[in-house]
Amino acid sequence: MQTELLIHADWVLPVDASDATLEKHSLGIADGRIAALLPRAEAEAQIEAARTLDLAGHALMPGLINAHTHSPMSLLRGLADDLPLMTWLHEHIWPAEGRWVDAEFVADGTRLALLEMLRGGITCFNDMYFHAEVTARVCAEAGMRVLAGMIVVDFPTRYADNADDYLRRGLELYDRWRDHPLVRPAFAPHSTYAVSEAPLTRVRTLADELEVPVHIHLHETRDEVQQVLRAHGERPIARLDRLGLLGPQLIAVHMTQLEDEEIARLAETDTQVVHCPESNLKLASGFCPVHDLLAAGVNVALGTDGAASNNDLNMLGEMRTAALLAKGVAGAASVLPAAQALRMATWNGAKALGLDGEIGSLEVGKAADVVAVDLGDPHTQPVYHPCSQLVYAASSHQVRHVWIRGRQVLRDGAPLTLDPPAIIAAAKAWGARIGGDESRGRVSTRPPESG
């Protein structure tokens, strides 16, 4: 067998059905796909590789999947911390967005997010923000995999005038990017309180016709649920169920306020759930009942949310927080073990985004989205159980190599498709402009441009 690249590693965590950790194995890449996964001795005897990489002390794992974020909001990181949700939104985030969000902001913010995510082993993310066509272009240029959200809200912003205008722009994005190997469009109605019934119904119809996912904030806070209940006489999940939106194509984010019958309905409809533990903790939004959801058979993925409310895009950290929080909420140390946390950040994320046939595990035939983590660092020594070290101890600086669809995008910790000095310079320039507004106390009551 011939391959373009053969990687030897001390450990491989395929995140396949067995959940096994393979020792002294080798992974071969050809034509952007995983061509072989064999014990090292067999690989050396059977495979003729154009290039070989020997990664002693490293673990290979599938690329991490950030199943919910607002990547351009990296430019608002740290703008307004330690505040109640409504104060944070109304007095800081929404005014800044209303003043500054345009195509240039989105391009620079997305590049900053990509730099952080690639360095942390993230190879795919699910985004919801304005100017998604810009995010799609930046990701294609950088070789990053993205679900680009065709956002929908009822109210006018600098991006669009009304729900019909958002949908028009979304369909233009779909037509431009639907056949790209790394960019997949998805509808992204913000929430059941920001999108009325007619646009939600049209989203369902279009999503069915185009066979694309629907990405929405849902049951994020108690106030949200009560607001929708007062306005419509039903809880948000019930509203979406009545409109025919619950199902495998729905990516429901946050889900901190759930009743037993709602969990059962999510399982019955195979609705996808994304847990964002650090953002929910920081904004005191509540606790997603992850253990109950998983026990009911619901697929639960992990996301960071935006850097303005997290404040990072670190999926290694998110795995650790998710595992620890689930144990505390359930009152049981055995809840959400390391292997399950890793699966949530890889295979479960791929399933949530409708990409589990392509990515999410290291299996022959799948796309070569591969991450190498150096476990020789003091943070992760000694190594008794590589999966536990990845979830409970590893840091993003230990991510040394990243491949997406077989193309190397990070080598020895250095990005190959991005320009870090230019990205940091742009971020600093935005910080100076936005920070000047913030220090002058600019306040607005504009509706949200994100979430």
Average pLDDT estimate for 302-315: 97
pTM of the model: 0.96
pLDDT category, 437, cuts 50, 70, 90?
low
Tokens of 441: 């106390």
Q: What is the pLDDT of residues 224-264, one digit of tens each?
A: 999 999 999 999 999 999 999 999 999 999 999 999 999 99
Average pLDDT estimate for 352-379: 98
Helical packing angle, 132-142 and 163-177, nearest 10°: 20
pLDDT value for 444: 41
Q: Decide: helix, strand or coil at residue 58.
A: strand
Question: Identity (one letter) of the amino acid at 365?
Answer: G
Helical packing angle, 197-210 and 163-177, nearest 10°: 10
Average pLDDT estimate for 199-209: 98
pLDDT value for 441: 55
Residue 322, CB-side half-sphere exposure with 13 Å CA sphere: 31
Instruction: Look over the chain and give the mean of its residue pLDDT values, rounded to a whole number.
Output: 95
pLDDT value for 326: 97
Q: What is the pLDDT of residues 296-305, one digit of tens each?
A: 999 999 999 9
pLDDT category, 88, cuts 50, 70, 90?
confident
Which residue pairs from 138-141 have beta carbons closer than 8 angstroms and sit at least 24 positions apart in sequence?
A: 138/107, 138/110, 138/111, 138/114, 139/110, 139/114, 139/182, 139/183, 140/177, 140/180, 140/182, 140/183, 141/417
What structural domains does the chain harbor? 2-62+372-415 (2.30.40.10), 64-352 (3.20.20.140)
